Structure 1
């Protein structure tokens, strides 16, 4: 799609701004948000990791946190290029760089790890498999449909920027962008055997988007010598910003510290 036709007044909302927190050690962590998500989804975990001494970077993926029009112009290549660039920037400054990602961010973490082999990584509700069977139809659906209203009502937000993002992103399914996500799923699966980094796999039994079998699929198909699964009971899909976010942050700190 033509980026030159974007509205000149487009901007990233305040709540969508990337996060960068300078730490006290020579270790950094790249945190990657999910599909239609924003860096705010990772903010709690980012601050907890930073308090433990790590420098933390949470980039805003292209097309996210701006508008649906911008979103529809982004592709899986844009998203992967952004995390690669951020990883390379951090690697030029810090002795060790670790990577963790939520949902689609988990896919990007796995793909990045198959290329650069960071010492440690973590996937959080990594979307190697998802419950919505329609994802396989998105290459066809995307030819005819750009967006489909979701049947279930979306959460209402007091923050006007979050309410705006809800109307722009979260109130619809996006076949063209689902096609991009599906491509990342296939790339991640194809390259799992190339992942040799120590890996922590976090999942939740209450996740309605990514089934628990996705965590076990990752566990059994990576080549990592050190691998660990931790299953939570109460969290929804966005585990980094849900009822057990304190425990999620603690497990990540323990993983990257030890």
Structure 2
């Protein structure tokens, strides 16, 4: 039996969310080291537009570093598949959207299940930090690297909950992200869903040149929302109203 001296806890900032709406549902997928909080504002706007919205918490996220390290890319992808299948059983139509790694997971789901429409928000098919390519080898020697600490949110309660994710770089988990990136890039040509992609020129985590990769590999119909000022969390930054409205317009067509 496994005993954890630092049991995982979830507070109001990192819990999953579900908003009951009409017979069309939307699955929203948060990013690497993130939580459902990243998608909450967008989710509320989609719910106001009449959609049922599900924002699950990916395994190992929004709890603590021990919980995070114990999970892998397989757990994250399986959680997304399961939630999509559950929603598909209950709702006539299910759309899918994701932020960052959530966009990568959305692409993998789309290649497998071909939902009618998907939206990719700052999808992390590429990373600004090229060292991620070394993580599949470095993970055998080191698991975590302390950092100065960073978070996109200012609320003390939220930071207390996610500080484990902000204060360390997780080499083994970054290798999992890199694995997903490579898988998704390989699957981009197989997506037949209609797509809208949100990219920001001010994103410091995903390079804007990723657009060239998407243009080259994605064969499905795709339209862009190009932002000028937003950082990586495009779903909850200074241009979030534009992001939400463009996604709603896309889904309503």
TM range (shorter): over 0.9
Given the superposition, is the C-alpha separation of residues 151 and 56 from structure 1 closer, same or farther in structure 2, using an over 3 Å criterion?
A: same
Asked whether the 8 Å contact 1:98–1:118 carries over to 2, the reply is yes
SS at match of 2:90: coil
Q: TM-score, normalised by structure 2?
A: 0.95
**Any stretches of 5+ residues in structure 2 without a counterpart?**
none
**Deviating runs (4+, > 4 A) in structure 1?**
151-156
CA-based RMSD of the aligned residues comes to 1.6
Please name the residue that 1:88 is paired with. 85
- Structure 2 residue aligned with 1:214: 210
1:155 and 1:98, CA in 2 relative to 1: closer, same or farther beyond 3 A? Answer: closer
Q: Select 1:149's aligned residue among 142, 146, 149.
A: 146
CA distance 1:18–1:126, change in 2 (3 Å): same
* SS state at 1:236 partner: coil
Counterparts in 2 of 1:155 and 1:15: CA distance versus 1, 3 Å: closer
Question: 2:162, 2:16 → 1: CA distance?
Answer: 19
Q: For the residues of structure 2 that align with 1:113 and 1:150, how far apart are their CA atoms? A: 34
- Structure 1, unpaired ranges of 5+: none
Give the whole-Å Cα distance in 1 for the aligned partners of 2:59 and 2:179: 16
Q: Is residue 215–residue 229 contact of structure 1 (8 Å, CA) maintained in 2?
A: no
Q: Is the 8 A contact 1:201 1:219 kept in 2?
A: no
**1:257 lines up with 2:227 in the alignment:** no
| Aligned positions, number | 253
Matching of residue 67 in structure 1 with residue 64 in structure 2: yes
1:165-184 aligned within 5 A: 165-184=161-180
Change (3 A) 1:154 1:12: closer
